Chains A and B, each alone.
Chain A
Amino acid sequence: SAVISQKPSRDICQRGTSLTIQCQVDSQVTMMFWYRQQPGQSLTLIATANQGSEATYESGFVIDKFPISRPNLTFSTLTVSNMSPEDSSIYLCSVELGLKNIQYFGAGTRLSVL
């Protein structure tokens, strides 16, 4: 496995503002993923972030709302833009290790939008 650090762990934000979430891994990984988990719900993939290319977004998620950066093989950020209360959720990053399609998750960011 790997050590995956995600921050902030939680935040309370005002409507209309933006929050950037960071995900740092202690080893180089090709594939990183960003998920949203609404209260009591399953994990929904927002986008796949590969180093050196633009993120690939899933249906229902757009770059203007969730811009992603992937500057190197150990780091990625997800920004939640122009937030509304509906964006209140847990956001998790995950990484795929060892080319075996096994994903390991960060501890998540609990976001509340007022």
Chain B
Amino acid sequence: GENVEQHPSTLSVQEGDSAVIKCTYSDSASNYFPWYKQELGKRPQLIIDIRSNVGEKKDQRIAVTLNKTAKHFSLHITETQPEDSAVYFCAASKNPGTYKYIFGTGTRLKVLA
């Protein structure tokens, strides 16, 4: 069935360093890839997304890259800050299609001050 693998499960970086989280999807028909940030006890919040017609998207310190051939996409956070500490989830979806998201297993990011 459809599957999204996410690595690493935990990631610790020093404040100011970069963090990279990688996801691989199985369904080649997937064409929409959102990233969510979930702080402890809070709801998942969309932070960035990318569609299959582009290879990279950037929003200030956050960027996402997509390699359709290899079926993987990555989240890049530069100049990390303590408030970036959270759990990050990637997801894959097909639109038009089922619209449902298949989520990765999550990455717990700790930014050390």
Chain A positions within 8 Å of B, measured between CB atoms, are 31, 33, 41-45, 48, 58-59, 92, 96, 100-108
Q: Is the CB of A42 within 8 A of B89?
A: yes
Partner of B100, one of A45, A105, A108: A45
Which residues of A lie under 8 Å from residue B74 when comparing CB positions?
A: none
| Interface Cβ pair total, 8 Å cutoff | 45
Q: How large is the interface on B (under 10, 10 to 19, 20 to 34, 35 or more residues)?
A: 20 to 34
Q: Is the CB of B95 within 8 A of A101?
A: yes
Q: In chain A, what residue has the closest Cβ to B6?
A: A42
Q: In chain A, what residue has the closest Cβ to B101?
A: A103
A4–chain B nearest beta-carbon distance, Å? 8
B35–chain A nearest beta-carbon distance, Å? 12
CA distance in complex: A101, B89 (Å): 16
Closest 10 CB pairs of A and B: A101-B95, A105-B43, A43-B103, A42-B103, A107-B43, A42-B105, A105-B44, A101-B32, A42-B106, A45-B100
> Can you name 22 A-B residue pairings with CB atoms under 8 Å?
A31-B99, A33-B100, A33-B101, A42-B89, A42-B105, A43-B44, A43-B89, A43-B101, A43-B103, A44-B103, A48-B98, A48-B100, A100-B95, A102-B34, A102-B46, A103-B101, A105-B36, A105-B44, A105-B45, A106-B43, A107-B42, A108-B43
